[in-house]
Every structure is written in C-alpha cells, then in structure tokens.
Amino acid sequence: MMRAVELIGCEVVDRDGARIGRVCDLRLVADPHTRGLSGYHLESLVTRTGPIGDRLGYTTEHTVGPWSSAWLFRRFGRLVRLVPWRDVEAVDGRVIRLRAAVGVPCEGGPRQ
Amino acid sequence: MTSEPVTVRLLFASKPVWEALPAVRAGYLAVRAISPVSLRYWPMPARGNAEGAESATGRYRQGGAMTDHERDVGAVRPFPVTLDVDRWLLDRPLHDMDGVASGKIDDLEFSDPVAGQAPELVAVLRGPAAVGPRIGGRLGVWWTAIGLRLQTGRERDLVSIPVGVVAGIRHAAVQLRSHRQALGTEVIADRVREKIAHRTPGSG
C-alpha cells in the first residue's frame, strides 16, 4: 500500500533529471456515479516550484478576494504544475522520476 | 413648530444612518467594491432593523423559518468528481453516523501502483502513526511514539477507515456511515479515559 504522505513533499524530476518542483497536493478523479469516496483514483500530482505557490488558495476557481491580492497570488500560482500519474516512471524514496519531459501548467486545470 | 432638528433624529434614530440618507449607503458600497482590502472587513450594511434580522442566525433567534437552501446545507453532499486531497480530505474532521466527532483525516492510503494503472484510494487513515510522518523529523518520531504508547498492544496499527464507509461532506466535515466504536477511531481517547481520567481523584 502507498500512503499520501509518501508522495506529498517529494521532489519531481523529469527524464533528463531537470527539477520540475515539489509535490504539494494530489488530484483524485472518480467516475460520475461513484458513491462516497469509492472509485477515486490518483489522476495527477500537483507540484509547485516556489515557496508560496497556491498555499493561500488564490488559485482555486471559487476563491473570491480583493483583486490586487488575487492578481498577485495567481502569478505565484503559475508556478504550479500538474503532472499526470501516467507519466510517473518510478518513486525512489523522496524523488519521483518521470518518463516525460515536463509537466502540464496548472492554468489549464484550476484547483478543485 | 415643535419639529426636532435633523441631526438629533440621525443620532438617536433606531434605524441606520443610510436609511435616512441613501446616498451614504451608495457611497459606502462603491468604496467597498473597489477597495483592495478584503470584503470581510467591510460589513454589508443591512436593510431593516439594525440587529441583523436578515441573517439566518438573526431570523432563527426571532422565531423565523429555515429556507430550503439553509436546510440543504445540512444534508450530506457528495464529493466532486475531481478533488484535491489537501483541500477536500486532509485534516477534515470525521463525523460518525450519529454526527459525533471522530477525529480528523490524517493520511490517505492508496493501492500499490501497477504499471498502466493509477493507484486507487483505498482508505482514510487517522491516529498518531498517521500524523507523525507528516510532521517529519524527530518531532514526528516522538509524536508517533507517544501515540503508540497510549494505545493497547493489540491496536498498534493505524486506524484505517475503508472508503466504502465514507458517505460525503456535511457541514464541512466528512460524514461516515458507521459508528465510531465500530471503526476503532476512539482507541486513544478510551485509553486516556481508562488510564488517566478515571484514576484522577474526584473523577467519580
């Protein structure tokens, strides 16, 4: 069995060894007809490169805040990337190696 | 003429000032809308009485009825199809089927990754043995050790709650379909009650 704590905080590197970021969250996806938490699977890793990233919640789609702060932290949020689990080659301790070159920017999929 | 001055009426009236001067309310709302300061620091001027009768709390206190929307808020809602665990699951309180608090979600357990298949969520975990690794370092090891000493030898494993027992979200807590006694989520609380609280003089 694998635990979430074994993934969150891990360093993510691509196939060339270039650092992509650190795992800050996990994104799960389920079938539309699932009940409760049954049927959820790990769809992607949410990684960030900066110390702030989306920690303050301003990259979530439902967040409403003062426009100045929201603008500032959305720029921090650009450092957040989604790494699909299918691109993961191996988990070596605290390092996750990918078989792909780079992750997908999180702007295409706002935080849920 | 016995009419009192306008200023006296504004100072001692039971109604808010903006009811007497709508332009004041409009100006306040305009400044509130463009301010960079968070809106929660700008209270919304209520219409009607000044005791907040428009809010749900104010209406309940005055014997008002609950609207359909407010009733629905108390229902068990399903999780979204796509969810981020840090926002939706980790550190969320757990409530059993009677609504009694049963700890928080400290970690998640997935099936072993198999080539070509994404790991499936199998269980939610709670207890010191789940929190310790999240804290990390010496403090995490210490936290885990203290928690394990408080548990009985038979139950030294993590408290693992299968995902089939989880019903959904209710009042920002994760609602379970079982009693907490059946899930074993109260091992440490029972142990502290048995070994410490009941032995304290005056505990009855």
ipTM: 0.79
**Looking at beta carbons, which residues of chain A come within 8 Å of B177?**
36
Residue-level pLDDT at A44: 92
Distance to chain A for B197, nearest Cα, Å: 33
**For residues A68 and B152, which has the higher predicted lDDT (pLDDT)?**
A68
**Residue from A75, A39, A29, A82 nearest A56 by CA:** A75
Distance to chain B for A12, nearest Cα, Å: 17
Q: Do A60 and B87 touch (CB under 8 A)?
A: yes
**Looking at beta carbons, which residues of chain B come within 8 Å of A77?**
none
**Looking at beta carbons, which residues of chain B come within 8 Å of A31?**
81
pLDDT digits (tens, 9 = 90+) for B126-158: 888 888 888 888 998 888 888 777 766 545 567
Is pLDDT of A111 > 60? no
User: Which parts of chain B have pLDDT scores under 50?
Assistant: 1-14, 48-64, 66, 154
pTM higher than 0.90 for the full model? no
Residue-level pLDDT at B151: 67
Is pLDDT of A40 > 90? yes
If you average pLDDT over residues A60-76, what whole number do you get? Answer: 67
pLDDT digits (tens, 9 = 90+) for B118-132: 999 999 998 888 888
User: Which of B186-190's residues contact partners 24+ apart within 8 Å by CB, and which partners?
Assistant: B186/B102, B186/B103, B187/B127, B187/B151, B187/B152, B187/B155, B187/B159, B188/B127, B188/B128, B188/B147, B188/B150, B188/B151
Q: Environment class of residue A109 by beta-carbon count within 10 Å: exposed (0-12), middle (13-18) or buried (19+)?
A: middle
